[in-house]
A and B are shown apart, each in its own frame.
Chain A
Amino acid sequence: MPDAARRVHNLQRVVSAPAAAARGILAARRITKRFPGVLALDRVDLDVAPGEIHAILGQNGAGKTTLMNILFGLVQPDDGALYLGGRQVSFRSPHDALAQGIGMVHQTRRLVSAHTVLENIVLGHPRVRGFLDLRGARSDVQALGTRYGFTVDLGARVWQLPEGERQGVEILKALYRGARILILDEPTSALTPPEVKTLLAGLGALVRDQGVTVLLVTHKLPIVMAASHRVTVLRGGRVAARLRTAEATEEILVKHMVGRDITFRTPERAAAGSPMIQVEHLTAHNDKGQLALRGVSFSLREKEILGIAGVTGNGQDELAQVLAGLRPAVSGRVRFDGRNVTRLSPLERWRMGIGYVPAERAEVASIAAFSLVENTALTYHFDPAFARRGLLDDSGLKGLTRRILTDYNIKAPHEYARAQHLSGGNLQKLILGRVLSRKPRLLIAHLPTQGLDVEATAFVRSALLDAKAAGAAVLLISEDLDEILSLSDWVAPIYEGRFGAVLPREEADAELIGAMMAGLGHREDGER
C-alpha cells in the first residue's frame, strides 16, 4: 500500500516537527460559516493534539456537524483557516482532506448494502481505476484490520451485518484510504450498548497503539466522559468551553452545553383511571417472516405510563406497529376502550384517539420534501375539522402548525419551510406536537428522545408527562433505562419478543430491569 504508507509517512514527518507537535496536529482559527438566516459557526477555534480523542460536544444545531464538514472539505468556511501540523491548508473537497490523511465516518452509513465488505472498502479508493485487484486489496485490508484490531468478515455482504460492524467497515475504509485523523459524527447514535462498548474500546486502541487521532462529535455526555481526552463544547455556533475531560464532570459539561442548569421532571402518580388498552397474547412477524413478537400481554389505564425497556430488535418495532395498525397481528387481541381494535386500519385508530410517534422520524413520521404545514396535515387530512367537502383547510392547518411551533419551541424559518431543513430535535418536537395536538387517549411513543440533545430530551419527556396528566395512557418504548425509570408507572422489560414482567415502578430497580433486558430471569408470558 505505497500510497497510504507514503501519506502516513509524510504526515508523521510533518507532525514530528517540534513546533507542530506543540501546537497540535489539526487546528482551526476563527472559522465562520453562514447559512441563509443562520450563523452556523462564529469565529470558532479548535486545537486537536496528535494521538488524542477529542470530543466535540454540543446540542443539535450548535454547529458541530458544520464544523466537521468544514474539516472534511464538504463545506467551505466563509472566514477563518485550517492548519494541519502548523501549516495552513484549505480543502476544496473531501478528496483534498482524504489526501491529507483526514477521514470521516458519517452519522448515517454510506455503504452499498448489496456489496461485500471488501468491495465497499475498496470502492472509491484512488488506486482502483478500472480494474479491481480484489485479491491484493484483500490481503492489504486484512493486514490493516489485524494491525488496528478491527476484525470484520471481508466476504460478508453489508446488509447482513449489524449496525456496529457496518460502522467498523467505514472506519476500516477510512484507515485504508490512509486516514490518520478520524472524524466520527455521532458514532454511537444507532448502536446498542454492547456495540458502543466495542466501538469505544476500538477507538481507544487506535489512538493508544497506532497514534491515530480521533475527533468524536457527540451530544452524549457519558460518551464524552468515557472516551475522550479533551473536549471542546460548542453552543450556538461558538466555542463555549475547552476542557480536559479528566477535569470535567457531566454537570459542568451540561452547563456549558446548554448555558444553564437543566432539571428533568419526574412523574407524579395520579389516581389511576379506567383501563384504556388491554393487550392479550399478541404475536406478530417481522419483515423477514419470523415470529418477532411472541405473546405480549398487558393492560394500561388512563393517566399511566408503561415503559417498555429493551435493546433494539427485541420485538419493540413489531409491537408498536401492530398497535398502530401498520402490521397485522398473527394472533392475540388488542382492546381499546373496551372495543376490539386488533384488525382496524391506521386511519380508524387515528380517529379513535390512538396516537403513534414512530422511531423513524424522517422515514415514517414525516415527509422531507413537504412543508411543515403539509406535515401537520399528515394526521389531519381525514379530520372533518380540517378537511371540508374534500378541500383541505390550509389556513386552519397553518394556524395549527404555528401553534405547534410556538408551544413546542421549534426553531424553523416559517411554517412553509420544508421538513428536511429541520434538525432532528426540532423535527421530533414537530411530530410529537402534531400527534399530541390530536389529544390522543393512547400515545405510543417509540424511542421519542433518541438522538436528541439534552434540552429537546427534557422537553419531549415533559410533553409525555403532560399527555399523561391530560388523561392519556402512554406506551413509552425506549432503550434508555434511566428514561424508562424516571417516567414510567409500570415497567416491562422486553427480550426476544416477550415481556420479562410488568412491574410497578416501585419494584423495578435498574439492576433487575437491566438483567431482564438481557434475557435473565425471563419468565414465560409476563402478565399483570
Chain B
Amino acid sequence: MRLGRHELTLEPRQALPPGYTVLIAAGAIVVALALSSFLFVSADASVLGAYRSIFAYAFLNPLGLTATLQRAIYLLFCTFAFLVPLRAGLWNIGLPGQVFAGALAAFAVPFALRGGDTQASFASGGLIILMVVAAAAAGAAVGGFAGVLRARFQVNEILVTMMLNSIMFWLVAYMIKEGGPFMSPTGEGESFALPPGLRAPLWRGIPFTALLVVAAAVLLDLLFAKTALGYRIRALGENPAAARYGGIIPVMLSLIVFVLGGAFAGVAGYHAFTAIPGVYKIAGNYGFYGDLAFYGLISALIARGSALGAVPIAVLFAGLSLGARFAQGALHLPFGVDYALLGLLMMTFVGSHVLYTFRFALRRTTAEVLRPVAPELPEA
C-alpha cells in the first residue's frame, strides 16, 4: 500500500522479538474493545460506562472476581483437553461429551456408595479424590474411544468426537431427567444435590481445582519442552511422515493424547458441577457448560499450544463473558452483548496471528531511498 512517499508492506518475519507475543496479544485486546464500543453506542449506552461496568464486575467486584476465576478454571481444563491432542495434530471436538462424562462419573461415586440413599452424609477427603479420579477416568475413556478409532482404523477424530458429544448429552438427560437414576428427589429435571461433605474444599471461595489447573499448566509446558514423550507428540503433530521415519509410533501417541485430553475435560466436568459454590448438581441447563467448553478450543488456538500462555486468555474470556452478561442486565444492553464481545475478541486474536509470521514495514518508496537510478539503462 502506498502512503505518499512511503510504502506499507507485509514482510515475512524470521524470528519473533522477545516479548512480542504479549505485545501483539495486548494490541488485539485493545482493538477488540475499541470495536465493541460500536455495540454500546448502537445501544445508546455510555461507552466508558459499559467498559467500567464490565471490568469492575469481572475483576474488581469480589463476587464477580470469584465467578471469573471459577469459570477460568473450567475453561482452562477444557483448553488443555483440546491442546494436548492439538499438539499431535489431532482435533478434539469432543470437549462437551468428555465434560459430561466427567460430571456423571463424579456423581456416580456418591450414588454407588450410598446405595440410593440421597441424604446420607459423607465426610471424607478420600472420596473427593476418588470423584476427581473417576471424572478424569470417564473423560479419558470417552476421549480414548475416539483415540482408538483414530489410531487403529484411521477414523476421523472430528466426526467421532462430535457424535460422542450428542450421545453424552442425551445420556446426561437420561440420567437426570424423568425417573433417571441421578434425578433429584423433587424431580426438577436436574440431578440430586451433592451432599455437603463431598463438595470441593474452598479457599476464599476458590476450589482446590485451581491448584490442579495451575499444576497441569506447568506440567504440560514441561512435558512438551523437556520430555521425549512431548517431543514425539510435537513431531507427530508437525510432520507425521517425519515422525514415522524417526521411529515414532503414531498409533500409541494418538491414543495417549486423547486419553490425556479426555481426562482434562473430565476434570473440567468435575469442577463445573461439584466444585463451584451454588451449583453442586448437574443442573438442567448443563448444555450451557458444554457450549462454554468450546472457548477452551479457542484459547488453545490463540495461545498457540502453550498451556501457561492460555492462562491469561482463559481468565480474560471468563471475565469478559461474565462481566458483559452483568453489564447487559445492569445497563439494559441488548441480549447477546457478551457473546458479541467474545466474538470480536476471537476475531482480533486470530487476525493478530498474521503478525507472528509477518511484520508490517513502512519503507520509503524505492525511488526515494535509493541512490537515484538512471531512467535509461546504463552500461553494465
Count contacts on B: residues with CB < 8 A to the other chain.
33
Q: What is the 8 Å Cβ interface bit string for chain A, positions 367-392, against chain B (1 contact, 0 not)?
A: 11110001001110110000100111
Determine if B378 and A29 form an interchain contact, defined as CB atoms under 8 angstroms apart: yes
Which residues from 98 to 157 on chain B have a C-beta closer than 8 Å to any C-beta of chain A?
Answer: none
Determine if B241 and A363 form an interchain contact, defined as CB atoms under 8 angstroms apart: yes
Q: Is A152 on the interface with B (CB-CB < 8 A)?
A: no
Determine if A367 and B370 form an interchain contact, defined as CB atoms under 8 angstroms apart: no
A407 to B299, CA, bound (A): 43
In the complex, chain A residues whose CB is within 8 Å of the CB of B235 = 367, 370, 374, 378, 381
Interface of B is mostly: mixed
Which residues from 245 to 282 on chain B have a C-beta closer than 8 Å to any C-beta of chain A?
Answer: 245-249
* From B15, B232, B247, B375, contact of A350 by CB (8 A): B247
A410 to B112, CA, bound (A): 65
CB-CB nearest in chain A for B223:
A390
Chain B nearest CB, measured from A68 CB (Å): 17
In the complex, chain A residues whose CB is within 8 Å of the CB of B234 = 370
In the complex, chain B residues whose CB is within 8 Å of the CB of A45 = 380
Determine if B380 and A364 form an interchain contact, defined as CB atoms under 8 angstroms apart: no
A90 to B239, CA, bound (A): 39
Determine if A364 and B247 form an interchain contact, defined as CB atoms under 8 angstroms apart: no
Q: Is A88 on the interface with B (CB-CB < 8 A)?
A: yes
In the complex, chain B residues whose CB is within 8 Å of the CB of A29 = 373, 377-378, 380
Determine if A79 and B375 form an interchain contact, defined as CB atoms under 8 angstroms apart: no
Determine if B238 and A390 form an interchain contact, defined as CB atoms under 8 angstroms apart: no
Q: Is A7 on the interface with B (CB-CB < 8 A)?
A: no
Chain B nearest CB, measured from A77 CB (Å): 8
* Given contacts A346-B244, A367-B235, A83 and B249 within 8 Å (CB-CB): no
Determine if B377 and A391 form an interchain contact, defined as CB atoms under 8 angstroms apart: no
Determine if B242 and A381 form an interchain contact, defined as CB atoms under 8 angstroms apart: no
Which residues from 72 to 129 on chain A have a C-beta closer than 8 Å to any C-beta of chain B?
Answer: 76-77, 79-81, 83, 86-88, 90, 92
Q: Is B374 on the interface with A (CB-CB < 8 A)?
A: yes
Q: Is B227 on the interface with A (CB-CB < 8 A)?
A: yes
Determine if B247 and A391 form an interchain contact, defined as CB atoms under 8 angstroms apart: no
A326 to B229, CA, bound (A): 21
Determine if B380 and A79 form an interchain contact, defined as CB atoms under 8 angstroms apart: no
Determine if A378 and B380 form an interchain contact, defined as CB atoms under 8 angstroms apart: no
CB-CB nearest in chain B for A79:
B370
Q: Is A289 on the interface with B (CB-CB < 8 A)?
A: no
In the complex, chain B residues whose CB is within 8 Å of the CB of A377 = 231
Q: Is B14 on the interface with A (CB-CB < 8 A)?
A: yes
Chain B nearest CB, measured from A65 CB (Å): 14
Determine if A347 and B247 form an interchain contact, defined as CB atoms under 8 angstroms apart: yes
* From B227, B239, B247, contact of A368 by CB (8 A): B239
Determine if B231 and A23 form an interchain contact, defined as CB atoms under 8 angstroms apart: no
CB-CB nearest in chain B for A19:
B376
Determine if B375 and A36 form an interchain contact, defined as CB atoms under 8 angstroms apart: no
In the complex, chain A residues whose CB is within 8 Å of the CB of B367 = 90
Determine if A381 and B245 form an interchain contact, defined as CB atoms under 8 angstroms apart: no
Q: Is A337 on the interface with B (CB-CB < 8 A)?
A: no
Q: What is the 8 Å Cβ interface bit string for chain A, positions 222-238, against chain B (1 contact, 0 not)?
A: 00000000000000000
In the complex, chain B residues whose CB is within 8 Å of the CB of A24 = 377
Determine if A387 and B377 form an interchain contact, defined as CB atoms under 8 angstroms apart: no
Determine if A88 and B375 form an interchain contact, defined as CB atoms under 8 angstroms apart: yes
Q: Is B204 on the interface with A (CB-CB < 8 A)?
A: no
Determine if A23 and B245 form an interchain contact, defined as CB atoms under 8 angstroms apart: no
Which residues from 141 to 176 on chain B have a C-beta closer than 8 Å to any C-beta of chain A?
Answer: none
A379 to B247, CA, bound (A): 8
Chain A nearest CB, measured from B275 CB (Å): 31
Which residues from 218 to 246 on chain B have a C-beta closer than 8 Å to any C-beta of chain A?
Answer: 226-229, 231-232, 234-235, 238-239, 241-242, 244-246
* Given contacts A47-B380, A390-B229, A326 and B373 within 8 Å (CB-CB): no
Q: Is A452 on the interface with B (CB-CB < 8 A)?
A: no
A55 to B286, CA, bound (A): 69
In the complex, chain A residues whose CB is within 8 Å of the CB of B380 = 27, 29, 45, 47
Q: Is A276 on the interface with B (CB-CB < 8 A)?
A: no
Interface of A is mostly: mixed
In the complex, chain B residues whose CB is within 8 Å of the CB of A346 = 244-247
In the complex, chain B residues whose CB is within 8 Å of the CB of A356 = 245
In the complex, chain A residues whose CB is within 8 Å of the CB of B229 = 390
Q: Is B46 on the interface with A (CB-CB < 8 A)?
A: no
Q: What is the 8 Å Cβ interface bit string for chain A, positions 50-84, against chain B (1 contact, 0 not)?
A: 00000000000000000000000000110111010
Determine if A86 and B377 form an interchain contact, defined as CB atoms under 8 angstroms apart: yes
A19 to B377, CA, bound (A): 10
A23 to B231, CA, bound (A): 57
A45 to B231, CA, bound (A): 47
Q: Is A366 on the interface with B (CB-CB < 8 A)?
A: yes
Chain A nearest CB, measured from B104 CB (Å): 33
Determine if B226 and A391 form an interchain contact, defined as CB atoms under 8 angstroms apart: yes
In the complex, chain A residues whose CB is within 8 Å of the CB of B247 = 345-347, 349-350, 379, 381-382
Which residues from 344 to 362 on chain A have a C-beta closer than 8 Å to any C-beta of chain B?
Answer: 345-347, 349-350, 356, 358, 360
* From A77, A392, A421, contact of B227 by CB (8 A): A392
Determine if A378 and B376 form an interchain contact, defined as CB atoms under 8 angstroms apart: no
In the complex, chain B residues whose CB is within 8 Å of the CB of A367 = 235, 238-239, 242
* From A81, A378, A382, A387, contact of B373 by CB (8 A): A81
Which residues from 19 to 34 on chain B have a C-beta closer than 8 Å to any C-beta of chain A?
Answer: none
Q: Is A183 on the interface with B (CB-CB < 8 A)?
A: no
In the complex, chain B residues whose CB is within 8 Å of the CB of A370 = 234-235, 238
A370 to B238, CA, bound (A): 8
Which residues from 317 to 348 on chain B have a C-beta closer than 8 Å to any C-beta of chain A?
Answer: none
* Given contacts A367-B235, A378-B235, A27 and B377 within 8 Å (CB-CB): yes
Q: Is B42 on the interface with A (CB-CB < 8 A)?
A: no
Determine if A347 and B239 form an interchain contact, defined as CB atoms under 8 angstroms apart: no
* From A88, A379, A390, A421, contact of B374 by CB (8 A): A88
Q: Is B366 on the interface with A (CB-CB < 8 A)?
A: yes
Chain B nearest CB, measured from A199 CB (Å): 29
Which residues from 347 to 380 on chain B have a C-beta closer than 8 Å to any C-beta of chain A?
Answer: 366-367, 370-371, 373-378, 380
Q: Is A492 on the interface with B (CB-CB < 8 A)?
A: no
In the complex, chain A residues whose CB is within 8 Å of the CB of B226 = 391-392, 394
Q: What is the 8 Å Cβ interface bit string for chain A, positions 420-444, against chain B (1 contact, 0 not)?
A: 0100000000000000000000000
Chain A nearest CB, measured from B151 CB (Å): 15
Chain B nearest CB, measured from A349 CB (Å): 8
A90 to B369, CA, bound (A): 14
Q: Is A171 on the interface with B (CB-CB < 8 A)?
A: no
Q: Is A365 on the interface with B (CB-CB < 8 A)?
A: yes
In the complex, chain A residues whose CB is within 8 Å of the CB of B241 = 360, 363-364
Q: Is A324 on the interface with B (CB-CB < 8 A)?
A: yes
The residue among B241, B242, B249, B378 with the most chain A CB atoms within 10 A of its own CB is B242
A19 to B244, CA, bound (A): 60
A45 to B380, CA, bound (A): 6
* From A47, A86, A350, A382, contact of B376 by CB (8 A): A86
* Given contacts A29-B377, A88-B374, A347-B249, A36 and B14 within 8 Å (CB-CB): yes
A381 to B226, CA, bound (A): 11
CB-CB nearest in chain A for B236:
A367
Chain B nearest CB, measured from A85 CB (Å): 9
With contacts A87-B377, A88-B375, A374-B235 known, what are 19 further pairs, Cβ within 8 A? A23-B377, A29-B378, A45-B380, A79-B370, A86-B377, A88-B373, A326-B244, A345-B247, A347-B247, A347-B249, A349-B247, A364-B239, A368-B239, A378-B246, A381-B248, A382-B247, A391-B226, A391-B227, A394-B226
* Chain A interfacial positions (CB closer than 8 Å to B): 19, 23-24, 27, 29, 35-36, 45, 47, 76-77, 79-81, 83, 86-88, 90, 92, 324, 326, 345-347, 349-350, 356, 358, 360, 363-370, 374, 377-379, 381-382, 387, 390-392, 394, 421
Q: List 16 A-B contacts (CB under 8 A).
A: A29-B380, A76-B366, A77-B366, A81-B373, A88-B375, A347-B249, A350-B247, A356-B245, A366-B239, A366-B242, A367-B238, A374-B231, A377-B231, A378-B245, A378-B246, A381-B235
Instruction: Pick the 7 closest A-B CB pairs, nearest first.
Output: A347-B247, A81-B373, A378-B246, A83-B377, A45-B380, A387-B228, A367-B239
